[in-house]
Amino acid sequence: MKEKKPLNLDPNYPENFWPKLITLLSAGAFIYWVRTSPNADATLHTFLIDPIQQKLGSS
């Protein structure tokens, strides 16, 4: 078996870089979709806003 080399972390490279990057890219893609889709308002209400309002018990 090969020995595992210890991982040398670069002090200029944050430990949680990839999760932050993926979150920011996903948020950017979502905002782009909302801004460019002609029926984004109806889709957001159908799949996001209405179910949340139903869970909270307000209409």
Determine the Cα–Cα distance for residues 17 and 27; give it in Å rounded to an integer.
16
Q: What is the mean pLDDT of the chain?
A: 85
Residue 39 is encoded by which pair of tokens? Answer: 């029926």
Residue with structure tokens 């139903």?
54
Q: What percent of the chain has pLDDT over 70?
A: 92
Q: Which residues contact 59 (CB under 8 A, 6 or more apart)?
A: 53
Contact call for residues 9 and 15 (beta carbons, < 8 A): yes
Q: Fill in the DSSP letter of residue 7.
A: P
Task: State pTM to two decimals.
Answer: 0.59
Q: Where are the beta strands (DSSP E) in the chain?
A: none
pLDDT in tens, 11-26: 777 778 888 999 999 9
